[in-house]
Structure 1
Amino acid sequence: MFFASDNWAGAHPAINERLSRESTRFAAAYGNSDLDKAVEKRFNEIFERDVSVYFVSTGTAANSLSLASIARIGGVAFSHSEAHVIEDECGAPDFFSGMRMVPVEGENGKIDPAKLAAGIAGFPQDSLHHGRAAAVTLTQATELGTVYTPDEIDALTAIARQNGLPVHMDGARFANALVALGVSPAEMTWKRGVDILSFGGTKNGCWCAEAIVFFNPDLAREFAFIRKRAAQLFSKTRFISAQFDAYLSDDLWLGMARHANTMADRLRAGIRSQNSARLAWDTTSNEVFAVLNKASAQAAEARGARFYGWPTPLNMSEPVKDDETLIRLVTSFATTEEDVDQFLTICKAD
Structure 2
Amino acid sequence: MFFASDNWAGAHRSIAERLLQESTGFAAAYGTSELDRRVEARFAEIFEREVSVFFVATGTAANSLSLASVQRPGGITFCHSEAHVIEDECGAPDFFSSARLVAVPGEAGKIDPDKLAKKIAGFPADAVHHGRATAVTITQATEIGTVYSLSEIDAISAIAKQSNLPLHMDGARFANALVALGATPAEMTWKRGVDILSFGGTKNGCWCAEAIVFFNPEQAKEMPFIRKRAAQLFSKSRFIAAQFDGYFENNLWLDLAGHSNGMADRLRAGISGSNSARLAWATTSNEVFAVIPRSAAKVAEERGAKFYEWPVPTATPELVGSEETLIRLVTSFATTEADVDGFLSCLVA
Distance 1:191 1:318 in 2: 40
Distance 2:23 2:216 in 1: 34
Task: For residue 263 of structure 2, give the secondary structure of its aligned residue in structure 1.
Answer: helix
Q: Runs of 4+ in structure 1 displaced over 2 angstroms?
A: 314-318
Question: What amino acid does structure 1 have at the position aligned with 2:149?
Answer: T
Deviation by residue 1:98-143 (Cα, 9 ceiling, x = unmatched): 0001000000100000000000001111111111111000000000
Distance 1:159 1:149 in 2: 16
**What TM-score do you get using the length of structure 2 for normalisation?**
0.99
Q: Is the 8 A contact 2:260 2:332 kept in 1?
A: yes
Distance 2:253 2:316 in 1: 33
2:48 alignment partner in structure 1: 48
Distance 1:237 1:316 in 2: 46
Alignment of 1:126-275 (within 5 A): 126-275=126-275
Deviation by residue 1:46-89 (Cα, 9 ceiling, x = unmatched): 00000000000000000000000001110110000000000000
- How far residue 315 of structure 1 moved from its aligned partner, in angstroms, is 3.3
Deviation by residue 1:260-297 (Cα, 9 ceiling, x = unmatched): 00000000000000011000000000000000010001
- 1:132–1:142 distance in 2 versus 1, CA, 3 Å: same
Distance 1:316 1:108 in 2: 12
Alignment of 1:1-350 (within 5 A): 1-316=1-316, 319-349=319-349
- How far residue 165 of structure 1 moved from its aligned partner, in angstroms, is 0.3
Task: For residue 347 of structure 1, give the secondary structure of its aligned residue in structure 2.
Answer: coil
Q: Is the 8 A contact 1:280 1:316 kept in 2?
A: no
- How far residue 248 of structure 1 moved from its aligned partner, in angstroms, is 0.5
- How far residue 9 of structure 1 moved from its aligned partner, in angstroms, is 0.1
Q: Is the 8 A contact 1:69 1:226 kept in 2?
A: yes
Distance 1:310 1:320 in 2: 11
Task: For residue 147 of structure 1, give the secondary structure of its aligned residue in structure 2.
Answer: coil
**Identity in percent:** 73
Q: Is the 8 A contact 2:280 2:319 kept in 1?
A: no
Task: For residue 274 of structure 1, give the secondary structure of its aligned residue in structure 2.
Answer: coil
Distance 1:191 1:316 in 2: 36
Question: What amino acid does structure 1 have at the position aligned with 2:157?
Answer: T
Distance 1:295 1:272 in 2: 18
Q: How much is the aligned-residue C-alpha RMSD, in angstroms?
A: 0.8
- How far residue 318 of structure 1 moved from its aligned partner, in angstroms, is 5.3
Distance 1:25 1:9 in 2: 29
- How far residue 19 of structure 1 moved from its aligned partner, in angstroms, is 0.3
**Structure 2 unaligned spans of 5+:** none
**What TM-score do you get using the length of structure 1 for normalisation?**
0.99
Distance 1:107 1:348 in 2: 31
Corresponding pairs, count: 349
